[in-house]
Structure 1
Amino acid sequence: MPTLPWTVPNTPPQGVEVHVFASRFETRTLWGALKFFARTPGVWRQVSRAPGAYGASLKAQPLRRTFWTLSAWESPAALKAFARSGTHAPTSRGLAAEMSDAKFATWTAKSDDLPLDWTEAFRHLA
């Protein structure tokens, strides 16, 4: 399973609360998964420069048509600004018809607990 390792665009202050976001996407077809996979680098470049992003990772099982994201943000507003701008906005709209299932989870954590653990993300998405 390809995994993009935890990347830290901005170092958070110690001991602050961070907004965590996890997602799971399943595409309808293998073609949809390949489209998702092909568009990942552009979105990854955007998150690596996003204001308020404290870390992000992606797991992919393209042959099983399933993708997971895990990220930590300064605030819900920082996440929303990222999602509605740059490469992410048209990519998510363009891939919406390809999705057969999508799940999202949010919670808070302490910046001292970063990088986040995938086990925790899977628990929140279950």
Structure 2
Amino acid sequence: MPTVPWQQLDHEMADDAEVVVMASRFRLHRLSQVPRFFLDALRVQRQAARSEGVVGLSLRAHPLRREFLTLSAWRDQGSLNAMYRAQPHGAVMSRHRPAMASSEFVFYRLRAGELPAGWDDAYRRLAENEAAKKTGDPS
């Protein structure tokens, strides 16, 4: 499983400062779509790493499962939103939208002292979110 390990990019936050964490999972329809998506995922990862307000980030790829996951922490929602709207992220989203079998996102808050955000916690939150969507539970 190719992984870009957690990169702590902002070391100056107080341990009790709150950060916004986003975990995402993308599943593709076909295996043939994986190489191009993976290259674009790395491009977006580089973009995010240079974005103002990013605290830390990581990327996991499960190519044979056609699945990609991101985990990132941000000083605030505005910083995350600004990266989301910037290029190349916007172009990548448009290019790969038809390839998506599914995509999901969860947002939660941690204290800076609790970083790095854990993959086990992110997987659990994504699974709970997916189960809630299937049952119609709005929580």
Give the alignment's TM-score, normalised by structure 1. Answer: 0.95
Aligned partner of 2:96 in structure 1 is 95
Q: Corresponding residue for 2:3? A: 3
User: Aligned pair 1:22/2:61, yes or no?
Assistant: no
| 1:42-53 pair list within 5 angstroms | 42-53=43-54
* Equivalent pairs, count: 126
1:125 and 2:126 equivalent? yes
What is the alpha-carbon distance in structure 2 between the residues aligned to residue 97 and residue 12 of structure 1? 40
**What letter corresponds to residue 13 of structure 1 in structure 2?**
M
For the residue of structure 2 that corresponds to 1:10, the secondary structure is coil
Q: CA deviation at 1:46?
A: 0.7
User: Partner letter of residue 40 of structure 1?
Assistant: A
Distance in structure 1 (CA, Å) of the matches to 2:123 and 2:17: 23
Equivalence for 1:104 = 105
Larger Rg: 2
In 2: Cα distance, 1:12 partner to 1:120 partner: 24
Q: Which runs of 5+ in 2 are unaligned?
A: 128-139
Residue 135 (structure 2) aligns with: none
Structure 1 stretches of at least 4 aligned residues deviating more than 6 Å after TM superposition: none
- Counting aligned pairs with the same residue, the percent is 37
Partner of 2:69: 68
Aligned-residue offset at 1:40: 2.2
* Distance apart, 1:51 and its partner CA: 0.3
Q: Secondary structure at the match of 2:120?
A: helix
State the Cα RMSD in Å.
Answer: 1.1
Tell me the amino acid that sits aligned with residue 8 of structure 2: V
Q: Could you tell me which residue of structure 1 aligns to residue 79 of structure 2?
A: 78
SS of aligned partner of 1:51: coil
- CA contact 1:9–1:50 (8 Å) conserved in 2: no
In the alignment, structure 1 segments of 5+ residues that lack a partner are none
TM-score where L is the length of structure 2:
0.86
Query: Per-residue deviation at 1:12?
Result: 4.6
